[in-house]
């Protein structure tokens, strides 16, 4: 059996991990991105402007991690959204469509009790 190829992805253009984890890990040809909040990379604080601004920033952060791995949004096959308020689902999807214009990845949405967050692999 051949060895599994595993590569850690970290970039300074997305918020640094705030715990003992990587921004992303590539295993063979699949990338697992850690959950991204709507945090400003420079300040480390959530962006102001509500759930849509935070969702947009989370997707921008995810894009920076994708780029660091030589990928783009078109390579994403699955996302999970955690929302503090499920009433924000439509507003977050409006932002989502700005980043995923066609051939949408699979998406799940769960009440998370925290600010808008994106997960992708």
- Dist. CA 16–CA 29, nearest whole Å: 23
Buried b (16+ CB within 10 A) or exposed e, 24-63: bbbeeeebebbebbbbeeeeeebbeeebeebbbbbbbbbb
Catalytic, out of 109, 112, 119, 121: 109
To the query of whether residue 121 is one of the catalytic residues in this protein, the response is: no
Cα 82 to chain centroid distance, Å, stands at 11
H or E, element range at 52: helix 50-68
Active site residues: 109
């Amino acid at each position: 059996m051949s060895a599994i190829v595993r590569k850690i992805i970290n970039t300074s253009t997305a918020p640094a991990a705030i715990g003992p984890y990587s921004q992303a890990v590539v295993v063979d040809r699949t990338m697992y991105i850690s959950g991204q909040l709507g945090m400003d990379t420079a300040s480390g604080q959530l962006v102001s402007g509500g759930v849509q601004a935070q969702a947009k920033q989370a997707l921008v952060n995810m894009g920076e991690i994708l780029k660091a791995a030589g990928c783009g949004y078109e390579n994403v096959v699955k996302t999970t959204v955690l929302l503090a308020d499920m009433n924000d689902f439509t507003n977050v999807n409006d932002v989502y469509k700005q980043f995923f214009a066609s051939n949408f990845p699979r998406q799940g949405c769960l009440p998370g009790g925290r600010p808008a967050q994106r997960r992708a692999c």
